[in-house]
Homo-oligomer: A and B are copies of this chain.
């Protein structure tokens, strides 16, 4: 297993949900400063598309499938999310991080909305050399549907498995997985079912928190633990300190 950390910056953390296409520049600069303090960590970043790309994906009905009549939506949607990525990468580079934008559309292929071809060895090599690849939710060509949306969350899971990450961090705009107003500090497969996730459903519009936790539990089964925490606790997460959020870990025997 490598020492690589896969960090997801939630779309709602870096863009304004109410104003499509508006990027939280100040917050990104703070994030970049925090990451720069931990420059020696092998790191792979994935960010959500947030409100960027949604208007284009909606206008061209990408989720309904892509044919010749709406194929222009691939380029339009990709340009919107790649533009967000370009801003994120620039802000990271300005903070002294050797960030390089990596677009899923370029080299991967999907079927029915799931990646069936996705190389990760180049990402592991970059992280080993001190480069920070920065990926993002993107449109990807799809064997059955023509094109589809691949979320940042799907990318995080594929990358974590592919590079055998040491740990995964999901930085969000809430403190962690919430149940009855409190952060659930630790979840394992046996405790997860008993948790009422009603309070957390609002923090994720694609698939819901229940589905996300199930995927992270499957990742934990393979020995890769993950953390869900508030973006303001990013420094604590990177340092390996208590971040006040939720840890999703393998069942202790």
Residues of A within 8 A of B (CB): 66-68, 71-72, 74-75, 78, 93, 98-100, 102-109, 117-119, 121-122, 125-126, 129-131, 140-143, 146-147
Q: Which residues of B contact A147 (CB under 8 A)?
A: 125, 129
Q: Does B143 contact A121, Cβ atoms closer than 8 Å? A: yes
Q: Does A141 contact B122, Cβ atoms closer than 8 Å? A: yes
Q: Does A129 contact B99, Cβ atoms closer than 8 Å? A: no
Q: Does A72 contact B100, Cβ atoms closer than 8 Å? A: no
Q: Does B109 contact A122, Cβ atoms closer than 8 Å? A: yes
User: With contacts A121-B117, A130-B71, A146-B125 known, is A102 near B105, CB below 8 A?
Assistant: yes
Q: Does B129 contact A71, Cβ atoms closer than 8 Å? A: yes
User: With contacts A71-B131, A74-B131, A100-B75 known, is A119 near B108, CB below 8 A?
Assistant: yes
Q: Does B99 contact A109, Cβ atoms closer than 8 Å? A: no
Q: Which residues of B contact A78 (CB under 8 A)?
A: 100
User: With contacts A75-B99, A100-B75, A103-B103 known, is A109 near B129, CB below 8 A?
Assistant: no
Q: Which of B66, B108, B142 contacts A107 (CB 8 A)?
A: B108
Q: Does A141 contact B126, Cβ atoms closer than 8 Å? A: yes
Q: Which residues of B contact A131 (CB under 8 A)?
A: 71, 74-75
User: With contacts A75-B100, A100-B74 known, is A108 near B122, CB below 8 A?
Assistant: yes
Q: Which residues of B contact A72 (CB under 8 A)?
A: 98
Q: Does B107 contact A106, Cβ atoms closer than 8 Å? A: yes
Q: Which residues of B contact A125 (CB under 8 A)?
A: 109, 141-143, 146-147
Q: Which residues of B contact A66 (CB under 8 A)?
A: 129
Q: Can you name 28 A-B pairs with beta carbons within 8 Å?
A: A68-B129, A68-B130, A71-B129, A72-B98, A74-B129, A75-B100, A78-B100, A102-B105, A102-B107, A103-B106, A105-B122, A107-B118, A107-B119, A109-B119, A109-B121, A109-B122, A117-B119, A117-B121, A119-B119, A121-B143, A122-B140, A125-B141, A125-B142, A125-B143, A125-B147, A126-B141, A129-B146, A129-B147
